Amino acid sequence: MKNRFVILWVIWTLVGVGLIYGISASDSKSTTMSIIANILSLSPLIGLMLALGSVKAFSRFNDWLHSDPNSHYYVAGAISVLFMLPGILLFKFDPYFSVIFAAIVFAALGVLKQAKEQVFILSWTDLLLWMVLWIPFDLRWYMGMLPAGSDSYAWFSVALSVIAIIGWNGYRGAGIGYNLVPKLKDLRIVVLSMILIMAFVVPPGLLTGFLTFSMPQSYNIPKLIFQFIGLFLTVALPEELFFRGILLGGLEKMFSKKWIPLVISSLAFGLMHWNNANTLSTQITYISLAAIAGMGYGWAYRKSGNNIIAAILVHTLVDWTWRLFLTT
């Protein structure tokens, strides 16, 4: 954990401070103390998540993870303290939720650390941890654990990403391709994947009435930039980590036929959108279109040599375009 990692962590943490302040300050419901609580609790995690996206910085951090026998306790303890901060600062500290969350983090990282000597495939233990971490987040069960005034979704999406990066890519040695610096090849793949996804998703969405074009009269450019960054950090990045990096990557080591892991992970990704619609017909349509998009993200992930930034970028662009020009 030498200078390269520390410098990047400080820089990205300061960027996180700016992002959180810019978003929170524009919300009329935010109080000064809630903004401070969000900044202190979330910006260090954003800094860590982005700093670890540098291969060299991650290598330094990973050396420390494996050389210090107590690294698991330090990491899990730090994440747990950041979870407790909003409650403490807003005088809404809940010891019950704090203990539950800390137990989940310590257990998840501890189990993954113990499995570090095993060759990574999607074992039953990996799958169980994947479900324990992701399913409650997807169903929004975690959201009530942070006090009102905190951006619960953003906090948990970033925190779960950090746990996955350190747990699977660090301790477990899963090799999920967590590199946030794209190459020119990755950008070409992103453009092609974006075109293919839109070609296969938009026409059936329009024909079924699930999608409609929506062209606003004007655009707020700063708001659109913040929206793109927010989608990148809190939607595309965690979803690609869990569905492509861990699930698809782990399944590929179990099946010789490469289409099987792609289909399974894409269907799982599609099912994640079941609760985003209210009627059975729209639920089925949403699942189908999301699964097709998942195939595109998986294709981008594979085509880039399992470099997750390609999948994250195309996922962000699809969701951003959807919000700009389409409504459901």
**What are the angstrom distances between the C-alpha of 41 and each of 88, 216, 248?**
11, 35, 31
Q: What pLDDT, on the 0 to 100 scale, is given for residue 221?
A: 80
Q: What pLDDT, on the 0 to 100 scale, is given for residue 110?
A: 96
Q: What pLDDT, on the 0 to 100 scale, is given for residue 223?
A: 82
Name the token pair of 52.
């670890």
Q: Where are the beta strands (DSSP E) in the chain?
A: 212-213, 326-327
Q: What pLDDT, on the 0 to 100 scale, is given for residue 323?
A: 85
Name the token pair of 320.
């951003």
Q: What pLDDT, on the 0 to 100 scale, is given for residue 149?
A: 61
Instruction: Name residues of the chain where pLDDT drops below 70.
Output: 1-2, 27-28, 148-150
Cα 111–Cα 115–Cα 119 angle in degrees, nearest 5: 150
8 A C-beta contact, residue 246 and residue 168: yes
Q: What pLDDT, on the 0 to 100 scale, is given for residue 48?
A: 97
Instruction: Please tell me what DSSP assigns to residue 326.
Output: E
Q: What pLDDT, on the 0 to 100 scale, is given for residue 148?
A: 67
pTM of the model: 0.94
Q: What pLDDT, on the 0 to 100 scale, is given for residue 134?
A: 96
Where do we find the tokens 């999607």? 122
Question: Tens digits of per-residue pLDDT, 205-243?
Answer: 999 888 888 877 777 788 888 899 999 999 999 999 999
- The span from the CA of 79 to the CA of 71, in Å, is 12
Q: How many helices (H) and strands (E) does the chain have?
A: 14, 2
- Dmax over Cα atoms in the chain, in whole Å? 58
Q: What pLDDT, on the 0 to 100 scale, is given for residue 34?
A: 87
8 A C-beta contact, residue 45 and residue 162: yes
- The span from the CA of 138 to the CA of 303, in Å, is 27
Q: How many beta carbons lie within 10 A of that of residue 147, not counting itself?
A: 19
Q: How many beta carbons lie within 10 A of that of residue 101, not counting itself?
A: 20
Residue type at position 216: P
Q: What pLDDT, on the 0 to 100 scale, is given for residue 22?
A: 85
What residues contact 313, with CB distance under 8 A and at least 6 apart? 182, 186, 187, 190, 232, 236
